A and B are shown apart, each in its own frame.
Chain A
């Protein structure tokens, strides 16, 4: 029974990790990464490592995605004066600049 659960968790981990790599939008990657953290926590629980599972749950599915989302927000928000900075990896420049030039709440023109 445990072997089946381990196999299922391993498949989930492989699928989530592949999805995180294939996805090109950092904001979506953060959510996929959160799911990856959850499946890794499941895997660690099934192989009787609850301590590691707890760490994984707290860091992998809460802290890391939150920091990525905050970074994405900073990059898209702080680049109103210089659209060149938005052309990072995984961003189509046409879409990125068009969206980033739009003034946001609390931002000075």
Chain B
């Protein structure tokens, strides 16, 4: 397609989209009003189940099925990245060299690592009480571990990050979510119904199954993001085309140039 043709197609599509968007916006309720029929009902249901964080109640109780879908999307995406970014026949794996890190960066990174890790675990653990939850905290935990890559080098990160265990953790999180659903279906009215004792409002152990599902998502997201970043880091740091281009027959490593 020529440049002019592409531009025409874009302008036409943009015009249609703009018109549809404008029409849709006319029917929206005004910004920041005080009438929120869906919000009122969701908050009412959250309070009835003694869940202080109404968003967690929507995610892990009222719409727990949707979260299972989202969790599975992440699981499948990580799986796809692992399969796509594996070491292929024509590629060689080089040992990462020890990197020189300035003392200030090293100290700051090593000081921040436990803090960031603790914040992430806190956000996961308090998902049913305060903003945040398994997803947000899981990402924080996973990225916190990578401060070691910034503060030290890739070999140090690899030592605390056995990827196969995190792959297991990723699958275990997904499995735990589904199995909680199966157990609630066996014990109560429906798949992912909130059948556990609700506990005390605003306590750490409140909101019934929300705690379990939140923990399962936290585990899955933390491990999944670690695995995802590990595949990207492997590609960026360790894996390169075998010397002399892609070939696998004699992919034996040559002498390092000095």
Tell me the A residues contacting B by CB distance below 8 Å.
Answer: 2-3, 50-51, 53-55, 58-59, 62-63, 66-67, 70-71, 73-74, 77-78, 80-82, 103, 105-109
Contacts and interface: CB of A to CB of B under 8 A. Distances in A.
What are the nearest 5 A-B pairs in CB distance?
A50-B131, A58-B139, A54-B136, A70-B236, A70-B232
A82 B232 CA distance: 21
Given A54-B136, A58-B139, A67-B232, 20 more contacts: A3-B32, A51-B53, A51-B56, A51-B131, A54-B132, A55-B139, A58-B136, A58-B143, A59-B139, A62-B139, A63-B143, A66-B146, A77-B240, A81-B245, A103-B257, A105-B97, A108-B94, A108-B243, A108-B253, A109-B243
Contacts of A50: 131-132
Contacts of B219: none
A58 B124 CA distance: 13
Given A51-B131, A54-B123, A54-B136, A109 B240 contact: no
Nearest to A72: B236
Contacts of B139: 55, 58-59, 62-63
Contacts of A103: 257
A50 B55 CA distance: 10
Q: Give the dominant DSSP class at A's interface.
A: helix
Contact of B236 (A74, A107, A109): A74
Interface in B140-175: 140, 143, 146
A59 B225 CA distance: 10
A55 B136 CA distance: 5
B177 interface: no
A46 B126 CA distance: 22
Given A63-B225, A70-B235, A70-B236, A51 B245 contact: no
Given A51-B136, A62-B143, A63-B225, A107 B240 contact: yes
A5 B243 CA distance: 56
B131 to A, nearest CB: 4
A80 B135 CA distance: 39
Nearest to A108: B243
Contact of B240 (A54, A63, A78): A78
Contacts of B96: 106
A62 B79 CA distance: 21
B233 interface: yes
A107 B253 CA distance: 11
B241 A78 contact: yes
20 contacts: A51-B53, A54-B123, A54-B132, A55-B135, A58-B139, A58-B143, A62-B139, A63-B225, A63-B229, A70-B232, A70-B233, A71-B236, A74-B236, A103-B257, A106-B96, A107-B240, A108-B94, A108-B243, A108-B257, A109-B257
